[in-house]
DNA sequence: TCTGCCATGTAAGTTGTTACATGATTAT
DNA sequence: ATAATCATGTAACAACTTACATGGCAGA
């Protein structure tokens, strides 16, 4: 159950509403942890019950009320306990690779198109990350700590995307030049 | 539900028992799809009910009977239908990155040790993959098709491991030299 | 004798996905 | 008018994890 710990990590510095968290998960956190809105809200309720968080209802003008969640001492203790735990590797489950495993059942052009489409997706994502890097992380050493550590995760995102693009190129080369149809 | 399709992809060429599949998932398939023994057996039952597979009980000497699963025409059709579908990106959920996000809450040495431990794991896995590459995939163009396509997935495994190692080095450098404790 | 391999499964609980539901405000 | 943004939730189902359970054979 690490979604709860990811949420704790987000709340350590500042309170967030479910809505805020959902946006974070789509933006910064999304490069290493994905969660849907429904998961987030359900998890927040559970965490409030466990007293890892307290919810504060904040009225707003012209907008519906929001519920700001603050981390409690218990929540912070739990986060630190978990941080110190040994870390397991996360499982990989990649549809595209399964399709490639059975790729000889598809017409060659169709397969190549699939890989090329995927390559484009990663190129786009890379662009987004690199833009962020250039905009938000200049003068890295002068930034506040939480921001510095966020940078390390962005770096991972950039590496992953570059790596995917490399692999796509390798595969496209093999499919086009070395594998006979 | 892609576990079933991964299993179909494994069974296209030759029948396997649940036990065989479990081993495949630990070895070759494991670099892009992980599944536990329990998941595999449960999925096989479901697939047999849907008539994607037929089970054949094979008595053995000195060993318990095994149940060999064969793909049916329906199963093959389903696989091809799925292969042609557009492919979504798989979600990433990486504990280590979450820990890094909150890394400023841990003593610096502890964090560095975590990253170094992880780096070793990836170095070991890379060694295994590269050994495989050298042993099973010489004369790539002369190998049978299914083996050629399996190679493309191994290539992905190798890339992933190298990429992790690179990232670990980048992070270790930053933590040791640029980030003040 | 104890570990590991062969071979299959059940049960309970936690996570993740998909679809549905509400309702006001702001911008085009 | 229509869509997008803000903001929160419920319900049902599918998938995954962890623990338990059996039982014979082979080798150190």
pLDDT, mean over chain B: 95
Distance B77 CA to D21 C1' (A): 37
pTM for this entry: 0.94
Statement: the CB of B26 is under 7 Å from strand D: no
Query: In sequence order, what E strands does B17-146 have?
Result: 53-58, 66-71
DSSP letter, residue B91: P
pLDDT in the model for residue A77: 96
The answer to whether the Cα torsion of A38, A39, A41, A45 is positive or negative is: positive
Residues B55/B68, Cβ–Cβ less than 8 Å:
yes
pLDDT in the model for residue A26: 92
pLDDT, tens digit (0-9, with 9 covering 90-100), for A88-141: 999 999 999 999 999 999 999 999 999 999 999 999 999 999 999 999 999 999
Q: In which band, very low, low, confident or very high, does the pLDDT at B108 lie, cut at 50, 70 and 90?
A: very high
Say yes or no: B79 contacts chain A, CB-CB below 8 A: yes
Q: In which band, very low, low, confident or very high, does the pLDDT at B63 lie, cut at 50, 70 and 90?
A: confident
Percent of chain B scored above 90 by pLDDT?
Answer: 92
pLDDT in the model for residue A103: 97
Footprint of strand C on the protein (CB under 7 A): A 1-4, 34-36, 38-39, 42, 62-64; B 17-20, 22-23, 37-38, 41-42, 44-45, 60, 63-67, 91, 93
Contacts of A141 in chain B (CB under 8 A): 178-180
Least confident of A76-80, A115-119, A174-178, B61-65: B61-65
How far does the CA of residue A163 sit from the closest CA of chain B (Å)?
A: 7
Chain A: residue whose CA lies nearest to B158: A167
pLDDT in the model for residue A37: 95
pLDDT, tens digit (0-9, with 9 covering 90-100), for A4-40: 999 999 999 999 999 999 999 998 999 999 999 999 9
pLDDT in the model for residue A3: 96
Residues B67/B18, Cβ–Cβ less than 8 Å:
yes
State the DSSP string of A38-67: HHHHHHHHHHHHTTSEEEEEE--SSS--EE
Q: Please report the residues numbered 154 through 173 in chain B whose beta carbons come closer than 8 angstroms to any beta carbon of chain A.
A: 155-156, 159-160, 162-163, 166-167, 170-171
């Amino acid at each position: 159950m690490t979604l709860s710990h990811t949420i704790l990590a987000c709340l350590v510095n500042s309170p967030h509403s479910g809505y805020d968290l959902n946006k974070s998960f789509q933006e910064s956190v999304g490069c290493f942890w994905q969660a849907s809105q429904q998961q987030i809200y359900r998890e927040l309720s559970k965490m409030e019950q466990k007293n890892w968080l307290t919810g504060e209802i904040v009225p707003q003008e012209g907008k519906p009320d929001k519920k700001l969640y603050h981390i409690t001492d218990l929540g912070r203790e739990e986060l630190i306990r978990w941080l110190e735990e040994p870390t397991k590797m996360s499982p990989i489950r990649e549809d595209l690779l399964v399709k490639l495993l059975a790729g000889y059942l598809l017409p060659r052009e169709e397969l190549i198109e699939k890989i090329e489409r995927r390559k484009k997706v990663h190129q786009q994502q890379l662009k987004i990350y690199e833009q962020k890097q250039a905009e938000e992380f200049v003068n890295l050493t002068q930034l506040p700590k939480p921001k510095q550590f966020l940078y390390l995760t962005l770096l991972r995102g950039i590496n992953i995307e570059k790596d995917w693009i490399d692999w796509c190129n390798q595969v496209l080369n093999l499919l086009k030049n070395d594998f006979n149809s």
